[in-house]
Amino acid sequence: MKIRTIYDILDEISPFDLQEEWDNSGLNVGDYDAKVNKIYLSLDIDEKVLETMDENSLLITHHPLIFKSIKKVIPNRFSTKLLFKIMRKNISLIAMHTNFDKTHLNEYFAKKVLGFEGRVEDFIFYVDVDKDFDELVEYVKNKMGLKYIKTLNIKKRIKKIAITTGAGMGLLDFVRADCFLTGDIKYHEAMDAKVRGISLMDIGHYESEKYFADCLFEILNERIDIELQKINSANPFSIK
């Protein structure tokens, strides 16, 4: 199957035009006319992912490998070091980032992982609940298999929650909920949320977005007739 054919299917599933201006979703590496017999799905690309992949195959990731202009292709940076290995194995790379967040990933995480029903508004999934904050924290920890969650407790009783996978604190101005679940929450962002009266749960960047491969696999498995394999990248962090 040609890369162009696969790209068009992905564009139909989650239009690349929906991505944010700063994003770089789409074909990052490869040739639209190239043919592949195998597709791999992963949150990110790392060295272990590349070692696992066959030559002349396609990798579809959530995060783009290339965000900014590359002025030097030398093997001492994350993206350029991996580019050398990608090109040696003739691997093509397509990213589905902010477009897929809007159309699928936030909803998939909220419904399939956390077991909530609700509604999507752009990057934010809203859920009506009626839970004690501590009870909600334990519920989320159990559903995600986490031992710890960093929290900001403002309201004891939570009536409405907002969910954005990955790093969503840049959306705080748009959050209309008692509690916001997202990842990569910084100190001063928490201070801002406290003033606004919004409780927080830091559900992790990797921890909340690692389901990308599962989500896309379910969709693509019914649309294409070549081999699909999930080979999720590893979390660079560990908790001791």
238 domain-assigned: no
Q: Is residue 235 part of a domain?
A: no
| Selection from 26, 102, 90, 15 nearest residue 58 by Cα | 90
Kindly state whether residue 128 falls inside one of the protein's structural domains.
yes
pLDDT confidence band for 53 (50 / 70 / 90)? very high
pLDDT at 239 over 90: no
Residue 240 is assigned to a structural domain of this protein: no
Cβ-based neighbour number of residue 225 at 10 Å: 7
Residue 92 lies in a domain: yes
**Residue 161 maps to a domain:** yes
* 236 part of a folded domain: no
As given in the structure block, the two tokens for residue 110 are 């909220």
Domain of 44 in residue numbering reads as 3-99+210-230
Residue 122's contacts (CB-CB under 8 Å, 6 or more residues apart) are 102, 174
CB of 35 closer than 8 Å to CB of 2: yes
Whether residues 71 and 125 share a domain: the answer is no
Same domain, 117 and 202: yes
Please report, for the domain that includes residue 20, its CATH number. Answer: 3.40.1390.30
Output the pLDDT for position 76: 78
Q: Are 162 and 179 in contact (CB under 8 A)?
A: yes
Mean pLDDT of 152-161: 96
Q: What percent of the chain has pLDDT over 70?
A: 100
| Mean pLDDT value across the chain | 96
Same domain, 66 and 151: no
Same domain, 41 and 117: no
| 136 and 62 both lie in a single domain | no
Check whether residue 109 and residue 164 sit in a common domain.
yes
Residue 78 has a pLDDT of: 84
- Residue 185 to residues 197, 207, 217: CA-CA distances in angstroms? 16, 13, 29
Range 7-10 contact pairs with CB under 8 angstroms and sequence separation of 24 or more: 7/32, 7/94, 9/220, 9/223, 9/224, 10/60, 10/94, 10/96
Q: Do 114 and 146 fall into the same domain? A: yes
47 plus 118 within the same structural domain? no
Better-scored residue on pLDDT, 74 or 145? 145
Domain count, the chain: 2
Question: What average pLDDT does the segment 210-215 reach?
Answer: 98
Whether 28 and 79 map to the same domain: the answer is yes
Please tell me the pTM assigned to this model: 0.95
Q: What's the pLDDT score for residue 104?
A: 98
Query: How many angstroms separate the CA atoms of 120 and 232, rounded?
Result: 26
Predicted pLDDT of residue 22: 95
What would the pLDDT profile of 169-186 be if each residue is shown by its tens digit?
999 999 999 999 999 999
- What pLDDT does 115 receive? 98
Residue 54 has pLDDT above 90, yes or no: yes
Does 117 share its domain with 194? Answer: yes
pLDDT, tens digit (0-9, with 9 covering 90-100), for 65-102: 998 888 877 877 888 899 999 999 999 999 999 999 99
Q: Do 225 and 188 share a domain, yes or no?
A: no
Q: Both 14 and 88 in a single domain?
A: yes
Asked if residue 239 belongs to a domain, the reply is no
- Return d(Cα 206, Cα 208) in angstroms, integer: 6
**Across 3-7, 66-70, 190-194, 195-199, least confident range:** 66-70
